[in-house]
C-alpha cells in the first residue's frame, strides 16, 4: 500500500475520491457548470414564479438532506486544520457531541431526519429548514462546511447536467460506486482497528439506534443513550475522535487497487458500470434512428417554449421552429430525417444540436438502435 495520493485541485470530487477515480477512468471527471452553486441555479433570483417550474429556497438550496458520513471521512474532517475548514469541522464536532447516530461506522443520519425524509419531496426538498443539513453554513452564503470531504451522495448530486440524462446516468453510477466504497471501507476500518465480539455484533448489520424499527426515545430526541454508546464503542469509548482519525489514516494509505480488492465483486461491478457510463458521457455518437420522447410544456411563449424532459429540475427552452420539426424523427435513419427537414422546412439542424436533444431525451433511440439512457422521463432526482 502506498501513501496518500496527491490532491487534484481541478476535479469536482473530494481529493480522496478524485485520486481514486483518476485511476479508474480514462479522462477527467466532467464539471457540471450549469449547477452554479455559489449563485444557486435553482433559486428564483428575481425570476417570475411559475407554478410549473421548481425553485428552491436560498436558505436551503438542495441541502435539505443530512448525509451519513463514514468513519474515515469524519476522521479526515477532524484532521483538516485549514483555517477555511474550521467552521465545517465545528458542525461535525457538534454532531458528535449530540450523540445520536454516532457509531464506529461513522455519523448516521439522525432518526428524526430519517423519519421525515422522503415525505412529500415535491414540497419539502430544497425548501424545508427542518430538513436542512447541519453542515450547511448559512452565514457563509450557504456553502457546504465539509466540501473537501463530503460523502459520495453529496459529491455526485447536481440539479442540472450539461449532458442532460446522459450526465445524470454517469453521476448516478458514480454515486452507487462511492456509496458502495463508503460502506465497505467503514467496515474494513473496524477490522483494522480491532473491533470484535459483542461490540461488532451490535454494529452489524445496523447499529440499534439508527434502525428505523428500533428507534429509541433518546435517538429520536437527537441524543445518545450513554449505556448503548458504551456498548457500541467498547475500548474506544471517550476516544471517538481519535478513532475516526485513525480510520482516516488507514484509508488514506489505500491505493485504488486496494479499494477495489477490498470491495470484492460488488464494487468491481459498480466500477464497471461507472466506466461504461463514463464512456457514454465521453461519446458524441448519435443513435442510428430516433423518435420524439415524452415531455411536459412548462411555459408557452410567442417564439419559444420551456419544456421539461428527464428531470423537473433541468428544463430547457426550445424555439418553436425546432419543436415543429421534431416529428420528422419518426424512426427513419437520422441522416434521412435531417435531409427531409432541410428540404421541406428549410431548417438545418447540426448533429451537435441533435445530440443535445438526445441527451435531454427529447429525442430517444428507436428500439434496436444504440442508446443506453435509463432514467425515466419526468423522474425527479432526489438524494
- 127 counts as binding ligand SF4 under rule CB under 6 A: no
Q: Considering beta carbons, is residue 136 or 233 the nearer one to ligand SF4?
A: 136
In terms of Cα–Cα distance, which of 61, 59, 23, 19 is closest to 42? 61
How far from chain centre, in Å, is Cα 178?
Answer: 9
- Give the shortest CB-313-to-ligand SF4 separation in angstroms: 7
Q: Considering beta carbons, is residue 140 or 353 the nearer one to ligand SF4?
A: 140
- 243 counts as binding ligand SF4 under rule CB under 6 A: no
Angle at 55 (CA atoms; ends 300, 115), nearest 5 degrees: 135
- Give the shortest CB-287-to-ligand SF4 separation in angstroms: 29
- Give the shortest CB-87-to-ligand SF4 separation in angstroms: 11
Q: Considering beta carbons, is residue 20 or 125 the nearer one to ligand SF4?
A: 125
Q: Considering beta carbons, is residue 146 or 267 the nearer one to ligand SF4?
A: 146
Q: Considering beta carbons, is residue 12 or 234 the nearer one to ligand SF4?
A: 12
- 136 counts as binding ligand SF4 under rule CB under 6 A: yes
Q: At what angle do helices 164-192 and 256-281 cross, to 10 degrees?
A: 170
Query: What character string, x for contact with ligand SF4 (CB under 6 A) and - otherwise, covers 149-188?
Result: -x---x---xx-----------------------------
Which residue intervals of the chain are DSSP H helices?
15-24, 71-79, 86-98, 111-116, 121-124, 152-155, 164-192, 197-203, 217-220, 226-233, 240-252, 256-281, 320-325, 334-345, 351-359
Map the footprint of ligand SF4 across residues 95-124, applying CB under 6 A.
Answer: none
Which residue of 63, 100, 354, 363 would you call a contact of ligand SF4, by CB under 6 A?
63
- 37 counts as binding ligand SF4 under rule CB under 6 A: yes
- Give the shortest CB-140-to-ligand SF4 separation in angstroms: 10
Q: At what angle do helices 164-192 and 15-24 cross, to 10 degrees?
A: 110
Taking the C-alpha atoms of residue 31 and residue 12, their distance in angstroms, rounded to an integer, is: 6
Taking the C-alpha atoms of residue 209 and residue 280, their distance in angstroms, rounded to an integer, is: 41
Q: Which residue has the cell 436542512?
A: 132
Map the footprint of ligand SF4 across residues 350-369, applying CB under 6 A.
Answer: none
C-alpha grid cell, residue 372? 443506453
Taking the C-alpha atoms of residue 104 and residue 102, their distance in angstroms, rounded to an integer, is: 7
Candidates 39-47, 177-185, 247-255, 332-340; binding stretch for ligand SF4 (CB under 6 A): 39-47
φ/ψ (deg, to 5) at 319: -60, 145
How far from chain centre, in Å, is Cα 330?
Answer: 35
- Reduce the DSSP state of residue 73 to 3 states and report it: helix
Contact 142, 40 (CB under 8 A): yes
Map the footprint of ligand SF4 across residues 7-36, applying CB under 6 A.
Answer: 35-36
Candidates 129-137, 288-296, 302-310, 324-332; binding stretch for ligand SF4 (CB under 6 A): 129-137
Query: What character string, x for contact with ligand SF4 (CB under 6 A) and - otherwise, covers 66-85?
Result: -x------------------
Q: Which residue has the cell 458500470?
A: 273
- 130 counts as binding ligand SF4 under rule CB under 6 A: no
Which residues contact ligand SF4 by CB under 6 A? 35-37, 40-42, 56, 61-63, 65, 67, 133, 135-136, 144, 146, 150, 154, 158-159
Amino acid at each position: 500500500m502506498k501513501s496518500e495520493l496527491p490532491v487534484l485541485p481541478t476535479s469536482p470530487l473530494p481529493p480522496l475520491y478524485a485520486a481514486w477515480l483518476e485511476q479508474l477512468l480514462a479522462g477527467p471527471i466532467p464539471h457540471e457548470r450549469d449547477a452554479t452553486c455559489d449563485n444557486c441555479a435553482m433559486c428564483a433570483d428575481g425570476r417570475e414564479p411559475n407554478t410549473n417550474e421548481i425553485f428552491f429556497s436560498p436558505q436551503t438550496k438542495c441541502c435539505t438532506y443530512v448525509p451519513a458520513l463514514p468513519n474515515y471521512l469524519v476522521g479526515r474532517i477532524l484532521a483538516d486544520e485549514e483555517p477555511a475548514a474550521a467552521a465545517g469541522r465545528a458542525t461535525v464536532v457538534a454532531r458528535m457531541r449530540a450523540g445520536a447516530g454516532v457509531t464506529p461506522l461513522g455519523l448516521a443520519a439522525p432518526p428524526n431526519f430519517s423519519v421525515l425524509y422522503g415525505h412529500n419531496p415535491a414540497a419539502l426538498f430544497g425548501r424545508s429548514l427542518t430538513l436542512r443539513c447541519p453542515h450547511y453554513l448559512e452565514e457563509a452564503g450557504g456553502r457546504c462546511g465539509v466540501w473537501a470531504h463530503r460523502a459520495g451522495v453529496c459529491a455526485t448530486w447536481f440539479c442540472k447536467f450539461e449532458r442532460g440524462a446522459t450526465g445524470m446516468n454517469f453521476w448516478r453510477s458514480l454515486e452507487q460506486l462511492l456509496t458502495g466504497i463508503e460502506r465497505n471501507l467503514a467496515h474494513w476500518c473496524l477490522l483494522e482497528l480491532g473491533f470484535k465480539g459483542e461490540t461488532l455484533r451490535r454494529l452489524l448489520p445496523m447499529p440499534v439506534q439508527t434502525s428505523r424499527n428500533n428507534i429509541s426515545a433518546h435517538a429520536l430526541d437527537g441524543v445518545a443513550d450513554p449505556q448503548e454508546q458504551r456498548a457500541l464503542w467498547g475500548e474506544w469509548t471517550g476516544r471517538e475522535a481519535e478513532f475516526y482519525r485513525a480510520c482516516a489514516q488507514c484509508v488514506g494509505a489505500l491505493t485504488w487497487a486496494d479499494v477495489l480488492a477490498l470491495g470484492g465483486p460488488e464494487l468491481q461491478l459498480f466500477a464497471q458500470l461507472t466506466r461504461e457510463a463514463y464512456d457514454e458521457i465521453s461519446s458524441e455518437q448519435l443513435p442510428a434512428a430516433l423518435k420524439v420522447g415524452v415531455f411536459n410544456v412548462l411555459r408557452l411563449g410567442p417564439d419559444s417554449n420551456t419544456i421539461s424532459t428527464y428531470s423537473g429540475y433541468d428544463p430547457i427552452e426550445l424555439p418553436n421552429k425546432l419543436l415543429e420539426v421534431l416529428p420528422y424523427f419518426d424512426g427513419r435513419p437520422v441522416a434521412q430525417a435531417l435531409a427531409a427537414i432541410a428540404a421541406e422546412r428549410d431548417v438545418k439542424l447540426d448533429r451537435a444540436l441533435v445530440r443535445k436533444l438526445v441527451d435531454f431525451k427529447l429525442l430517444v433511440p428507436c428500439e434496436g438502435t444504440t442508446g443506453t439512457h435509463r432514467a425515466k422521463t419526468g423522474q425527479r432526482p432526489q438524494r
